Amino acid sequence: MYRHRHRVRRRTAFTLIELLVVIAIIAILAAILFPVFAQARDKARQASCLSNLKLAGVALSMYVQDYDETMPNACQWGRAWLWATDKAGLTGRCGQVGITAAAPKKDDYIGPQQTPPRFIQELLHPYAKNAEIWFCPSVGKSRYFNGDPKWPTYGYNGTTYIWNREANPTTSQNEFSKRKPIVVSGLATAAIPRPAQAPVMWDMPYWNKIKDPCPQSDLKPAHANGLNVLYADTHVKYASFSGKNTQAINACLEDWWAEHNWEGYFE
């Protein structure tokens, strides 16, 4: 007869040092990979945001064809500006059914189907037919203007994109800085000298912090190093921040609107 020898295997546990080494390795990998994942996520959101503006550009081109080659006659940069600076305008020149300074609330969502259409997302909605394209995924509906809960949300504004209602060269130092502003809303496209350089709509927030301290509330732009821009010829591109401060507005910021809103509209 053969004896079966049973070997008893002893279980060995990790020592404290081995566990600490594993934890340290995981922490190092996380420190390396998390920024990479964050950058990839931001790039994906930027691409989605760019796609939104491309669809808005298609809607704009159809609008212009239907309205004798003129730009949409949006009454303001956006609804939130009226709420903050000219509440009377909400029932006056930008008046709409059911919308006042008190109702709906400043953190409610107001969609693009309003009567009458006054703002860019409403004027282009019959052509775009997609309410979600008006919100960059990096910003969303619930974020407050200026990062301040005292202001309305982007949902109340109806979009996270700013309509360039007025091209104003006095906002920065340039060769046209002594010229009078040009109202873009309702402007004939033939009156735009360089439509491929003339911005009509772009991401908000559009501020890039250059240095501290900086009193501006909403310092986080829609994208890390620049923003998406729709131009008057309806093409869209990503515009990088220059990294130079805008002295005319705020010495600690680069303000994309102040530096570029007028480009392409003067000659």
Q: What is the pLDDT of residues 63-105, one digit of tens each?
A: 999 999 999 999 999 999 999 999 999 999 999 999 999 999 9
| Averaged pLDDT score across all residues of the chain | 90
**DSSP character string of 69-115:** TB----SSS-HHHHHHH-GGGGTTTT-BTTB-SSSS-TTS---S--S
What is the per-residue pLDDT for 9? 56
Q: In this model, does residue 120 exceed pLDDT 90?
A: yes
Tokens of 30: 């996380």
Q: What number is the average pLDDT over the span 54-69?
A: 98
3-state secondary structure of 183: strand
Most confident segment among 56-70, 138-152, 203-217 = 56-70
Q: In this model, does residue 41 exceed pLDDT 80?
A: no
What is the per-residue pLDDT for 16? 77
What is the per-residue pLDDT for 247? 79
More confident call, 92 vs 16 = 92
Nearest residue to 137 via CA among 21, 199, 44: 44
Question: Domain residue spans in the chain?
Answer: 16-260
The β-bridge relationship of strands 207-209 and 199-203 is unpaired
Phi, psi values for residue 250, rounded to 5°:
-165, 125
Q: What number is the average pLDDT over the span 41-55?
A: 91
Phi, psi values for residue 110, rounded to 5°:
-115, 115
Q: How confident is the model at residue 29 (pLDDT cuts 50, 70, 90)?
A: confident
Q: What number is the average pLDDT over the span 214-227?
A: 83
Q: In this model, does residue 33 exceed pLDDT 70?
A: no
What is the per-residue pLDDT for 8? 52
Q: What is the pLDDT of residues 233-267, one digit of tens each?
A: 999 999 999 999 887 778 888 999 999 999 999 99
- What is the pTM for the complete model shown? 0.86
Q: What is the pLDDT of residues 167-191, one digit of tens each?
A: 999 999 999 999 999 999 999 999 9
Q: In this model, does residue 4 exceed pLDDT 70?
A: no
Torsion angle of the four alpha carbons 115, 118, 124, 129, in this order, in degrees rounded to the nearest 10: -30
Phi, psi values for residue 240, rounded to 5°:
-75, 150
More confident call, 73 vs 29 = 73
Q: How confident is the model at residue 147 (pLDDT cuts 50, 70, 90)?
A: confident
What is the per-residue pLDDT for 212? 83
What is the per-residue pLDDT for 129? 95
Beta pairing partners, 230: 201, 236
